[in-house]
Amino acid sequence: MSRRKLDVARDAAKALADLPAKHFKQVVVKTLALIAEPFPHDSRPLQGHEGLFRIDSGECGIVYSVDDELVRIFVIGKRNNDDEVYRLLDRKT
């Protein structure tokens, strides 16, 4: 069993709460799975942001980091044509 914990940034938690029920469930399942397997087959390093990774969950993108004890969710947002997820991330960094 993993001892890793999950930390969700306030803005990411708000974005999650605002999702429609179907997308909310998809993102929660994918996010919780990161505790056991922080680098699933569909995760990718985020270019230009050392130590950050991205995964997709349906219509949403999730940006996160991992260390031995913590998975930190930075951004949850729509994966649409104007790259909302990356714009939100750039505002935070």
CATH number for 78: 3.30.2310.20
Question: For position 36, what pLDDT does the model report?
Answer: 92
| Angle, CA of 42, 45 and 47, to the nearest 5° | 135
Contact criterion met (CB below 8 Å) for 71 and 7: yes
Question: For position 82, what pLDDT does the model report?
Answer: 53
* Enclosing domain of residue 86: 5-92
pTM: 0.86
Question: For position 29, what pLDDT does the model report?
Answer: 95
Number of domains within the chain: 1
Question: For position 92, what pLDDT does the model report?
Answer: 62
Residues of the chain with pLDDT under 50: none
List the one residue out of 44, 52, 39 whose CA is nearest residue 12: 52
SS3 13: helix
Question: For position 84, what pLDDT does the model report?
Answer: 67
